[in-house]
Amino acid sequence: MKIDVITIFPAMVDAGLAEGVVGRARTSGLLDIVVHNLRDFTTDKHHVVDDVPFGGGPGMVMKPEPFFAALGAIRAARGTPGAVILMSPAGERFTQQGARRLAGVAHLVLLCGRYEGIDERVREALATEEISIGDYVLSGGEVPALVVIDAVARLVPGVVGDEQSVEADSFTRGLLDYPHYTRPAEYEGRPVPEVLLSGHHAEIRRWRREAALQRTQERRPDLLATAALDADEREWLKRSKS
Ligand code: SAM
């Protein structure tokens, strides 16, 4: 999978992509990620990327020209991307379902804003979609881009070693994940649920399924309406409500 990121802080993005499963996938070539410095696509002596807003008001706005030049260079060097994503609090809320969809796109470009944001013509002419990572405002699009890349990358086959761990993750089946435990079997008077030490795989599976259902019902009942439940799970929910 190819990913290009356009930012004025490439070191920040590269640092966030250097460790863990994403870092390893980058090293092995499974993920081909290039982080571009927007200032490299300016034409003036001082590499200016922002200007005052038309109409007045506070802050600065990112100029359109460097983004157009950067995307042109990416197209020429790496081909036409399948999606050009503008990171923005005004975008569509990012979800696990969105991550799954993007994991099926072979080449993504992510545009990171700063200051008051990016000149609107970049959204109109270059972006194919606009993504928000939540209803809060960050100082730049770099952390949101890292969030999207991490969530998408771990769904690319081979990036996460044990594929099963991705399948059990929260949201994958529309439910929250079950609780996890490791050694010691008892810690500060808190024992691990007995069944997990029993070696009975069918019982353990059942416990985990029910724990995931219970947790989802308690914390995110809204997810149950669209979760992919089997007959046993639906029966468990019915019983738990009565
Ligand atoms: N004036 C903008 C607004 O109110 O929508 C906020 C600009 S913010 C300070 C600068 C940049 O950070 C944005 O252009 C965007 O790239 C990024 N950003 C901030 N919060 C974000 C979020 N929740 N999701 C995605 N990107 C975000």
Candidates 138, 139, 146: which one to mutate for ligand 1, based on the most atoms within 8 Å of Cβ?
Answer: 138
User: Taking 70 as the threshold, does the pLDDT of residue 5 lie above it?
Assistant: yes
Q: Measure the CA–CA gap between 182 and 30, rounded to whole angstroms.
A: 30
Output the ligand 1 site: residues, CB below 6 A: 87-90, 112-114, 116-118, 132-134, 136-141, 144
pTM above 0.75, yes or no: yes
Provide mean pLDDT across the span 41-54. Answer: 98
| The pLDDT of residue 134 | 98
Catalytic hit among 26, 114, 154, 173: 154
Answer yes or no: is pLDDT of 13 > 80: yes
Q: Residue 163: pLDDT above 70?
A: no
With b meaning 16 or more CB within 10 Å and e meaning fewer, what string describes 89-121? bebeebeeebbeebbebebbbbbbbbbebbbee
80 vs 161 pLDDT, higher one: 80
Measured from the CA of 131, which atom of ligand 1 is nearest?
Answer: 25
Is 116 a catalytic site residue? yes
Ligand 1 atom nearest the C-alpha of 86 is 16
Whether 184 is catalytic: no
CB 85 within 8 A of CB 131: yes
How far apart, in Å, do the first and last CA atoms of the chain sit?
A: 48
Tell me: the pLDDT tens digits for 115-130?
A: 999 999 999 999 999 9
Q: What pLDDT, on the 0 to 100 scale, is given for residue 170?
A: 86
* pLDDT tens-digit series, residues 135-148: 999 999 999 999 99
Cβ neighbours around 210 below 10 Å, total = 16
In the predicted model, is pLDDT for residue 164 greater than 70? Answer: no
- d(CA 8, ligand 1 centre) in Å: 14
How many Å apart are CA 202 and CA 63, to the nearest integer?
59
Q: What is the mean pLDDT of the chain?
A: 96
What is the per-residue pLDDT across 60-70, written as a single tens digit (0 to 9) for each?
A: 999 999 999 99
